[in-house]
Structure formats: structure tokens, C-alpha cells
């Protein structure tokens, strides 16, 4: 009887041990499953955050594209309005003045020769003014010097005229290898400089500006720096009442040719606009031009320039 009791106890103990071992195994499995679920939850949260970020970036880019499309339409209409107004206000009125002078010449031709010569001289000045206005419109729309001689002469011509009109002192330096860029890349750099200097005149209240083009490792970098007042970039880019392409248009142009566009603006330090375009250029290291006249003496394919231009224009 004692042996039976001992056997029964042994079996009960063994069964209890098996039960405890099963519970331990189940507990370990449960812990492993809890850890896996926590990992899955963390991964899910990271994935949700990642997709939320992608969605926000996509929404932001779509908003920028819609904004740019609206700005393009508004800018086209503004440009057409401006050209129409200036053609009417300047050229048409000048031509009307020429016609009036010519009409008076026919009346006074037989009366006063001296007065006739004075009228002819005045009429010639009006004709010259009309020609200059037409040339200015043509340069603003598409400068022929850019196609005929290259980017550096075109920029020097534009900067010289801009400095004369605005009384802003501008220092211009350039790397002549920029002329080996494609037509599209050169017109992008020209438009960026044109837009940046227009902003300097209209908004920065600057007295000086520096325009530089230099070669970096695998890129050509243009910088336009002014000593004027700074601005809030987000406010300028996304203001609903902002009706100019401005910085957004410049950035789109640069990115269109695979480049990068950057703006830095800080109180007391002015604004620096930079555009970098990837290139592979072999040839002279540094060179540019110092005078517009000298550049015109050489076609673009045989352009020979001094080693470095460092022109101060005012």
C-alpha cells in the first residue's frame, strides 16, 4: 500500500512538472509573440509616419505646382499688359510726335530754314528714342547678344544698362567655360541673374550687388549677392497675392536643367541667390571679359577673353 501511494505521488509530481513546463513554454511563446507584436507596432508606426511624410511632401509639391501654374498665367498676362502699355505709352506717342513734326515741316519748309533745321533735329531725336525703346524691349524679351556672342557679353550688357538705370553698383566676375554650356543652360543662368537683379532693385533697397560665375567640382555656380534688406522666403514664395514668378520661377528654371537653386537671406547680411548647374567642362580654367566692346570683336565659337573679369559697374 505504501508503494502504491509513493507511485501515485510520483506520477502527480511528474504531471505537475509537465504542466509547469508547458506553462513555461507557453509563457515564453507569449512573451515572444508580445515582442513581435511590439516590433510590428513600432514598424507600423514608422511606416505610417513615413507615408504621412511622403503624403505631406506630395501635397506640398502639388500645391507648389498649382501655385506655379497660376503664377505662370498671371505673369503671362502681366507681361502682355506691360508690353502693350509700354508700346502704346512710349512708342506710339513718340511716333505720333514724329508725325506732328513732319506735318509742321511741310508747312514751314518755305518760311524759315533755320527753324526747319531745328525741327528736323528734334524729329531725329524722336526717331532715335523710338529705336532705343524697341531695342530695349527686344533685349528684355530675348537679348540677341546672348545668341550671337554668349552669356558673358549678354550679362555684361544687361548689367551695364541695369546699373545705369538704377544707380546700383555691380561687380561682375565670370568663368569663361560657362560659354560651353548648352543654349538652354545659358539662358537659365541669364534669366536667374535678370530676375535676381530685378528683385534687388524693386525690393532689397540695395546700393551694391555682386554677380559671380565660377567653376566648382562638376558644377558651374552663379551667385547674386546684395547688401539690401532681408526677407521671409516662405512668405514671398507662397503669398497668395504675390503675382510675380520671382524666386519660384527661377528655381523651376534651374531644376529644369538638373541644377539646384538656393536662397539665403538674413537681417544685416543681405540676400544671396545661387544656382548650380552640373557640367563636364574641359578647357581653360578661368577667364572672362572686361568690356562689352572687346567681346563683340570675337564670334562665340572663337571667343578670346582675359583670364578673369573683375568689372565694377555703376
CA 153 to chain centre: 21
Residue in 258, 269, 172 with CA at minimum distance from that of residue 219 = 258
Please give the grid coordinates belonging to residue 51. Answer: 507615408
Average pLDDT over residues 26-50: 86
Tell me the per-residue pLDDT of 124-163, one tens digit each, with 9 for 90 and over: 787 788 777 777 777 777 777 888 889 999 999 899 989 9
Q: What are phi and psi of 242, to 5 degrees?
A: -80, 115
Q: What is the pTM of this model?
A: 0.57
Tell me the per-residue pLDDT of 198-238, one tens digit each, with 9 for 90 and over: 988 888 788 899 999 999 988 999 999 999 887 766 565 55
Rg (CA), the chain: 36
Q: In what order do the strands lie in the sheet with 208-216?
A: 260-266, 270-278, 219-226, 208-216, 169-173, 311-313
Q: Kind of pairing, strands 208-216 and 169-173? A: parallel
User: How far is the C-alpha of 157 from the C-alpha of 151, rounded, in Å?
Assistant: 10
Asked whether residue 296 carries a pLDDT value surpassing 50, the answer given is no
For residue 107, name the pLDDT band (cuts at 50, 70, 90): low
Angle value at C-alpha 288, between 207 and 147, nearest 5 degrees: 95
User: Given this model, what pLDDT does residue 293 score?
Assistant: 38
Q: What are phi and psi of 232, to 5 degrees?
A: -90, 110
Amino acid at each position: 500500500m505504501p508503494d502504491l501511494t509513493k507511485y501515485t505521488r510520483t506520477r502527480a509530481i511528474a504531471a505537475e512538472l509537465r504542466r509547469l513546463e508547458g506553462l513555461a513554454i507557453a509563457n515564453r511563446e507569449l512573451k515572444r509573440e508580445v515582442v513581435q507584436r511590439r516590433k510590428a507596432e513600432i514598424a507600423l508606426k514608422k511606416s505610417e509616419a513615413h507615408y504621412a511624410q511622403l503624403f505631406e511632401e506630395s501635397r506640398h509639391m502639388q500645391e507648389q505646382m498649382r501655385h506655379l501654374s497660376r503664377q505662370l498665367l498671371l505673369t503671362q498676362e502681366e507681361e502682355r499688359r506691360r508690353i502693350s502699355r509700354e508700346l502704346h505709352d512710349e512708342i506710339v506717342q513718340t511716333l505720333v510726335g514724329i508725325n506732328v513734326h513732319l506735318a509742321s515741316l511741310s508747312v514751314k519748309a518755305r518760311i524759315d530754314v533755320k527753324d526747319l533745321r531745328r525741327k528736323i533735329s528734334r524729329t531725329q531725336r524722336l526717331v532715335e528714342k523710338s529705336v532705343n525703346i524697341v531695342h530695349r524691349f527686344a533685349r528684355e524679351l530675348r537679348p540677341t547678344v546672348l545668341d550671337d556672342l554668349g552669356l558673358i557679353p549678354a550679362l555684361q550688357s544687361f548689367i551695364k544698362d541695369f546699373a545705369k538705370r538704377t544707380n546700383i553698383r555691380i561687380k561682375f566676375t565670370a568663368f569663361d567655360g560657362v560659354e560651353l554650356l548648352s543654349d538652354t543652360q545659358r539662358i537659365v543662368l541669364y534669366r536667374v541673374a535678370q530676375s535676381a537683379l530685378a528683385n534687388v532693385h524693386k525690393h532689397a533697397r540695395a546700393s551694391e550687388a555682386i554677380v559671380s560665375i565660377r567653376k566648382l567640382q562638376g558644377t558651374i555656380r552663379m551667385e547674386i549677392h546684395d547688401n539690401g534688406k532681408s526677407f521671409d522666403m516662405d512668405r514671398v514664395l507662397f503669398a497668395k497675392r504675390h503675382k510675380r514668378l520671382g524666386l519660384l520661377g527661377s528655381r523651376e528654371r534651374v531644376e529644369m536643367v538638373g541644377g539646384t537653386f538656393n536662397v539665403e537671406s538674413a537681417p544685416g547680411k543681405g540676400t544671396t541667390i545661387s544656382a548650380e548647374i552640373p557640367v563636364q567642362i574641359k578647357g581653360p580654367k578661368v577667364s572672362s571679359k572686361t568690356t562689352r566692346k572687346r567681346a563683340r570683336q570675337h564670334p562665340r565659337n572663337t571667343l578670346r577673353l582675359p583670364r578673369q573679369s573683375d568689372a565694377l559697374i555703376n
